[in-house]
Chains A and B, each alone.
Chain A
Amino acid sequence: MIVDPRILRRRKRFDAAFRHLSFCAAALGVLLLIVFLTKIVVDGYPRLSLDFIKGALSRRPARTGIWPAVIGSFEIMLLTIAFAVPLGVAAAVYLEEFVTRQNPFTRFVQLNIANLAGVPSIVYGLLGLSVFVWTFGLGQSIISGALTMTLLVLPMVIIVTQESLKAVPRSYREGSLALGSSRWQSIRLQVLPSAAPGIMTGVILAVSRAIGETAPLIVVGAVSFVTTTPTNLRSNYTVLPIQIFDWAMDSKSEFNKAAAGAILVLMLVLLAINSVAIVLRARKRT
């Protein structure tokens, strides 16, 4: 076969150029991450101190702290897990374990869950504002915020749990049923324990979402200037991302630096939570 060497050279040049181009695109993600983290650390590190973390909110930028926001974020996180995990796992168990064959109802539920995962988070805020804050009369309280967050992370918990239930071999269920256990016994004692690492990954994803999410909580009325830590479920509250938002919007540049300090704290917490997820995933593989 005769090939024109010039054409061959051109094709080889295109091949090399394309490889380099796609590598640059993929490396851009790493580069951006480094730039991002550097910027945050440079701006935020000088503000980082135990006084800053444990300090109360103040209108004076040099003395302000983030403790009420830290506690608020922590409580929102705990309540969201407490609501979303049982509900999400139970819904996934129903769809994967109790329904033996796909029927129009489960298909409808499945479509619903897929669509809900694509709804902008701020729309959940509007739902929470109308239903929890006003219709249920819970007010602009921590419980309204946690319930709104629950609805927001529920589709994610359901989807991830379903995936890990699907990964449990059929033989586990069959073996357990053949030994005379009921369906729920085989779910509780065989299926759920072996799906647990996968479910945990989903829970951690949901938790990091609940900690980082801001928009819906602003809509359901987390207040920005909260000087005291929340005492009960009906208290006013603020969370770290909202504190960051307010300080970043402030015209005083000292407050902008405080925002960077709060970002650093938030990112460290998220990093800690996510490394748990990575460890769990690594364990599952072995």
Chain B
Amino acid sequence: MHSAEPLSTPPTTFGLGRRRPLAKLMSEAAIRWFCFACALISVATTFGIVWVLLSQSLHFFTKVSPLDFLGSADWRPGTSPPHFGVIPLIAGTLMITIGAGVLTLPLGLLSAIYLSEYAVPKVRGVLKPALELLAGIPTVVYGYFGLFFVTPALKHLFPAIKSSNAAAGAIVVAIMILPLVSSLCEDALRAVPKALREGAYGLGSTKAEVTTRIVVPGALSGVMAACILALSRALGETMAVTLAAGANPQLTLNPLDGIQTMTAYIVQTSKGDVDFGSVRYYSIFAVGVTLFVFTLAMNLVAQRLVRKFRQVYA
């Protein structure tokens, strides 16, 4: 490949040539099987997750009826008798997710519009790496930021705020998913064919008109998919909300109060001394399966949208 060898030299053997053909074939087949087995690991992981979540939460549901679990708003796992009504955890999770979505989706789309439609390479060369760096910051650092920067800042505006509160949780999660929304939306906007833009310019549109009436509608399914993926990330986010939003499972609409998300409950319980095989031990799997169902549904919807959007312009 690299240098032309004279024809008289024997063809290169690439290290395997001295073996007999049968042995060579055998090792080829072995490597193929090894690679196949590795590809199977991903399937095994999926089945493992589903199996573990279902079988372990089954132990939980033999002791706590699913109706009580899903139908009650009383989550006090530590009392005796314990109460396992998951609604406050779901409400807390949704509050963070929706709050982060409301804050970040418009910003993320606008920033994607700037990057894909307006930015000259020089500006892009600053903005894009900054967003990538923001995306690379570990989530526990976001939690620290929420606890020691966002909450004190909010305290100036709302003196009644709790030291852990849903508002700070939603804000840090919003910052965390901003790079994701921005880069996925940018991909979607870039996939809109140039001819569509040029047609609109030819009719005398301004750039803002082309963007808002042609490009964004044209990329809508991709933009929607980006939003759903980002929301599903927010839903499963753990460390930042555990630190910033607290461990207070209550049903509230006040963003200045502490709440607890499903993920934060799993962390809190894992950190405490919980006996293997106890109801509390199995409760983290029941909460886990609830979380998994939410994120899986969102991911499937997003994938369907992406497929649809590929079909339009591919």
Q: Are A25 and B110 in contact (CB under 8 A)?
A: yes
Bound CA–CA A260/B148 (angstroms)? 10
Interface residues of B in 98-150 (CB under 8 A from A): 106-108, 110-111, 113-115, 117-119, 126-127, 130-131, 133-134, 136-141, 143-145, 147-149
- Kindly list chain A residues whose C-beta atoms are within 8 Å of the C-beta of B34: 90
Q: Provided the pairs A33-B134, A123-B236, A218-B267 are in contact, do residues A27 and B295 lie with their beta carbons within 8 angstroms?
A: no
Q: Can you list, as one digit per residue, whether each of A65-100 has a CB less than 8 Å from chain B (1) or not (0)? A: 000000000000000000000111011011100100
Q: Are A126 and B284 in contact (CB under 8 A)?
A: yes
Q: Are A245 and B243 in contact (CB under 8 A)?
A: yes
Bound CA–CA A127/B102 (angstroms)? 32
Q: Provided the pairs A125-B270, A219-B270 are in contact, do residues A120 and B53 lie with their beta carbons within 8 angstroms?
A: no
Q: Are A120 and B134 in contact (CB under 8 A)?
A: no
Interface residues of A in 215-247 (CB under 8 A from B): 215, 218-219, 221, 224, 241, 244-245
- Kindly list chain A residues whose C-beta atoms are within 8 Å of the C-beta of B251: none
A181 interface hit (Cβ, 8 Å): yes
Q: Find B263's partner among A90, A120, A267 (CB 8 Å cutoff).
A: A120
Q: Are A112 and B46 in contact (CB under 8 A)?
A: yes
Bound CA–CA A267/B119 (angstroms)? 29
Interface residues of A in 22-71 (CB under 8 A from B): 22-30, 32-33, 35-36, 39-40, 43
B70 interface hit (Cβ, 8 Å): no
B276 interface hit (Cβ, 8 Å): yes
Q: Are A274 and B136 in contact (CB under 8 A)?
A: yes
- Kindly list chain A residues whose C-beta atoms are within 8 Å of the C-beta of B38: 86-88, 90-91, 94
Q: Can you list, as one digit per residue, whether each of A184-195 has a CB less than 8 Å from chain B (1) or not (0)? A: 110011100000
- Kindly list chain B residues whose C-beta atoms are within 8 Å of the C-beta of A32: 134, 175, 178
Bound CA–CA A29/B282 (angstroms)? 40
Q: Find B48's partner among A30, A36, A131 (CB 8 Å cutoff).
A: A131
Bound CA–CA A127/B131 (angstroms)? 32
Give the distance to chain B from A242, nearest Cβ to Cβ, in Å: 8
B238 interface hit (Cβ, 8 Å): yes
- Kindly list chain A residues whose C-beta atoms are within 8 Å of the C-beta of B108: 25
Bound CA–CA A211/B127 (angstroms)? 25
Q: Chain A interface residue count: which class?
A: 35 or more
10 additional A-B residue pairs with CB within 8 Å, beyond A212-B140, A241-B140, A263-B144: A26-B182, A29-B130, A125-B266, A126-B288, A130-B56, A214-B239, A218-B267, A219-B270, A224-B271, A244-B141
Name A's B-contacting residues (CB within 8 A).
Answer: 11-12, 14-15, 17-19, 21-30, 32-33, 35-36, 39-40, 43, 86-88, 90-91, 93-95, 98, 106, 108-109, 111-116, 118-127, 129-131, 134, 151, 154-155, 158, 172, 175-176, 179-185, 188-190, 208, 211-215, 218-219, 221, 224, 241, 244-245, 248-249, 256, 259-260, 263, 266-267, 270, 274
Name B's A-contacting residues (CB within 8 A).
Answer: 1, 11-12, 14, 16, 24, 27-28, 31-32, 34-36, 38-43, 45-46, 48-49, 52-53, 56, 106-108, 110-111, 113-115, 117-119, 126-127, 130-131, 133-134, 136-141, 143-145, 147-149, 175, 178-179, 182, 206-209, 211-212, 229, 232-233, 235-239, 242-243, 263, 266-267, 270-271, 276, 284-285, 288, 291-292, 295-296, 299-300, 302-303
Chain A to chain B contacts (Cβ below 8 Å), 24 pairs: A12-B206, A19-B207, A22-B117, A22-B118, A28-B178, A32-B175, A39-B148, A40-B144, A114-B303, A115-B46, A122-B236, A123-B236, A126-B285, A130-B56, A130-B285, A154-B45, A176-B1, A179-B12, A184-B32, A212-B139, A213-B138, A245-B140, A245-B242, A266-B141
